[in-house]
Structure 1
Amino acid sequence: MKKFLKQIIAILFLSIFALRPGMSQDTAGGLDFLNIGPSAQILAMGEGTVAIPTGSSSMYTNPSLLSFENRSGLQVNYSLWIANVNNQFAAFHVKRDGLTYGFGVYSTQADDFEARNQPGLSTGTFSISYFSLSGAAAYRIGSFSVGITGQYLREEIFQLRANGYSFNFGTSARLFDDRIAAGFSVNNIGKMENLNETASTLPSLFKAGVAIQLIEFSTPGQNDLPVLLSTFSEWARPFENNYTGDFTAEDADDDYLTVGVDAEIADLFQLYSAYRFGPTERPYSIGMGFLIDPIRVNYAFIPFSTGYGTAHSFGLEYYFN
């Protein structure tokens, strides 16, 4: 039976989540769902948001950014990934003087896999799911902030179950009247229990990035609209021999660079576009945000260069206090 279970797991990861040898991040395979941005804004910006606050979802990228949110908030998000994988996210954060804290739930699931004890008709269906329950805290002193996120993790494949934990650590700063932002984080440091006989590897990595406000101007015409153009970039380095992402074996420890632009129009619309330089199946992404205070709606469009499909992400935020 153990041999059969090993074969089932191998087939699932190779044919459903791998799509080709070495590629798992882009199909949310395994615990690498932690490297897929939980919110539409993060995905629209190519996940290059280590220096940019993205609401409550910052606890999964750089928890120190929670301190730079202007208000407390609630956030929900749903992503239609490829290979019939669905990602759900919900979180909130609360500001209290220099301290900001938050809690979040992030999960991914794929259903209707056929189970067989032997060749022939299936004996039923089962699901594969991954789950993260998080608590985060950030503290701001002037223009600088530090933060930490702790996560309880759970993975379920067929009849197998495993629990684990991980931490995200981050720091960030605002400089030159907030025109320049910088951020650093170490993500997904922890450990999982054995799933059958071996433990899944956490996708640990280091990230550093900067965001710069380039120019602010008004559109011509009777109804002038102020436009603020910004750029952002992020460098990421997976930890050596500890990465399960969408890289081939020879590129597993390669770093990658994400660059993008952000246009904020009249404090009402925000447009995003980003490109990732490195071995990835989804090099570019676009999206937008629409704000009618205190509600913000986000959308991201993420095509896959391999032709396996396109992912869509939808998010809703509510701000209070």
Structure 2
Amino acid sequence: MRHLIKYIVILLAVVTVSNAQNDGAGNTGLAFLKLGITSRSIAMGEAVVGNSFDASATHYNPAALFNGSKVNMVFMHNEQVLGVRTEFLAGKIKFNKLALGFSLNNTSVDNIEVREIPGSSIGEFTAQNFAMGVSLGYKVNENLSVGLTGKFLFEKIYVDNASGVALDLGGLYAKDKFTLGAAITNLGSMSQLRNESTKLPSAIRFGGSYYFDLLGISSRLIVAADGYKVMDGGKFHANTGAELLYKDFLALRVGYQSGYENKSIAAGIGLKYKAFALDYAFVPYKYSLGSSHTITLGTNF
């Protein structure tokens, strides 16, 4: 059984870390907390700490809950390489000085074979990671807002499970067509998984965005750039992205992320009709790993 559990842990580490781009892999766990959320964010290279306009702000920067419509809900389905699947549901509502949000993130890997070493497969199981968050934003003045998210975390690998709590903190400055944001995420701890506690991938993200009105073609262009780093052993990543929005109906997006061994570019498209939005993102991976596909449904009020 000792060899069985060792094999499972090694296999899960390879699968999940490969999909979270190996940031701080030797020092932190819960790699699903580093994966991109929503089609728009992923397609823009996750350069969204200052320009999240929907409930994805609960993941990237709770201070950005004041961006966009008063009420918003999003549902995302993401298919990663190596069978990693994520479902994300979030919502937000903003008032005069306060904004509230919630989020549910479930990431799983199905059909993982259980093997003794050496030996043939003796069964299969599903590895699961789950996060549930509640977010609060406060508008300090016309230009400045701050926010925080409290999260409950859960992971299960074979017959072992662990739980924990984490905190995200964020700030956002917005003036005219310019935004500047920063967030510190995943500050917290986990209970022991078998004999050892998993260290959370605490990270810092900062960046800004600027938009241009292209009146000649009834469009708006947003350009953004972020820096991102997992504090304990992670590489520094420079993320850039752009979004061209035509008549508040059609959005074309492209993004680039530096410092990852298995990916760099992303692209996507979005359609909006009245209160509803449909978005798609595509990320090709190197080394014949395949590609990632993300679909997001949203509604605004």
User: Structure 1's 200 and 86: CA in aligned 2 closer, same or farther, altered over 3 A?
Assistant: same
Aligned-residue offset at 1:181: 0.7
CA contact (8 A) 1:172 1:182 kept: yes
**CA distance in structure 2 between the aligned counterparts of 1:107 and 1:201, rounded to whole angstroms:** 19
Instruction: Show the counterpart of 1:154.
Output: 154
Aligned-residue offset at 1:18: 4.8
TM, length-normalised to structure 1: 0.86
User: Structure 1's 319 and 113: CA in aligned 2 closer, same or farther, altered over 3 A?
Assistant: same
Select the residue among 195, 198, 218 that pairs with 1:197.
Answer: 195
**CA distance in structure 2 between the aligned counterparts of 1:19 and 1:187, rounded to whole angstroms:** 21
Residues 1:302 and 2:283 aligned together:
yes
Instruction: Show the counterpart of 1:115.
Output: 114
Tell me the SS of whatever aligns to 1:123. Answer: strand
Aligned-residue offset at 1:237: 2.6
**CA distance in structure 2 between the aligned counterparts of 1:124 and 1:213, rounded to whole angstroms:** 53
1:266-303 CA-to-partner distances (Å, cap 9, x unmatched) read 11111111111223422110112211110011110011
CA contact (8 A) 1:55 1:75 kept: yes
Identity %: 25
AA matched with 2:193: L
| Aligned pairs for 1:122-271 within 5 A | 122-140=121-139, 141-175=141-175, 177=176, 179-219=177-217, 226-239=218-231, 242=232, 252-271=233-252
CA contact (8 A) 1:24 1:30 kept: no
CA contact (8 A) 2:16 2:32 kept: no
**CA distance in structure 2 between the aligned counterparts of 1:80 and 1:180, rounded to whole angstroms:** 33
Aligned-residue offset at 1:8: 2.5
**CA distance in structure 2 between the aligned counterparts of 1:117 and 1:306, rounded to whole angstroms:** 29
AA matched with 1:59: T
User: Structure 1's 91 and 253: CA in aligned 2 closer, same or farther, altered over 3 A?
Assistant: closer
AA matched with 1:72: V
CA contact (8 A) 1:299 1:312 kept: yes
Aligned-residue offset at 1:68: 1.9
AA matched with 2:59: Y
- Residue ranges of structure 1 left out of the alignment (5+ in a row): 220-225, 243-251
1:104-152 CA-to-partner distances (Å, cap 9, x unmatched) read 1001111111223564343321111100011001011211110001110
**CA distance in structure 1 between the aligned counterparts of 2:150 and 2:37, rounded to whole angstroms:** 16
**CA distance in structure 2 between the aligned counterparts of 1:166 and 1:35, rounded to whole angstroms:** 14
Instruction: Show the counterpart of 1:90.
Output: 89
**CA distance in structure 1 between the aligned counterparts of 2:275 and 2:219, rounded to whole angstroms:** 21
CA contact (8 A) 1:42 1:54 kept: no
**CA distance in structure 1 between the aligned counterparts of 2:54 and 2:10, rounded to whole angstroms:** 37
1:148-167 CA-to-partner distances (Å, cap 9, x unmatched) read 01110000001010001111
CA contact (8 A) 1:101 1:136 kept: yes
AA matched with 2:170: G
Instruction: Show the counterpart of 2:103.
Output: 104
Aligned-residue offset at 1:88: 0.2
User: Structure 1's 281 and 117: CA in aligned 2 closer, same or farther, altered over 3 A?
Assistant: closer
Select the residue among 254, 260, 264 that pairs with 1:273.
Answer: 254
1:72-127 CA-to-partner distances (Å, cap 9, x unmatched) read 11111100111011100011111222211011100111111122356434332111
AA matched with 2:256: Y
Q: How many corresponding residue pairs?
A: 297
Instruction: Show the counterpart of 2:63.
Output: 64
Tell me the SS of whatever aligns to 1:83. Answer: helix
User: Structure 1's 193 and 24: CA in aligned 2 closer, same or farther, altered over 3 A?
Assistant: same
**CA distance in structure 2 between the aligned counterparts of 1:300 and 1:170, rounded to whole angstroms:** 25
User: Structure 1's 74 and 19: CA in aligned 2 closer, same or farther, altered over 3 A?
Assistant: closer
Residues 1:38 and 2:37 aligned together:
yes
AA matched with 1:191: S
CA contact (8 A) 2:50 2:180 kept: yes
CA contact (8 A) 2:54 2:67 kept: no
**CA distance in structure 1 between the aligned counterparts of 2:24 and 2:246, rounded to whole angstroms:** 33
**CA distance in structure 2 between the aligned counterparts of 1:58 and 1:229, rounded to whole angstroms:** 20
Aligned-residue offset at 1:63: 0.5
Aligned-residue offset at 1:213: 1.5
Tell me the SS of whatever aligns to 2:121. Answer: coil
TM, length-normalised to structure 2: 0.92
**CA distance in structure 2 between the aligned counterparts of 1:24 and 1:232, rounded to whole angstroms:** 22
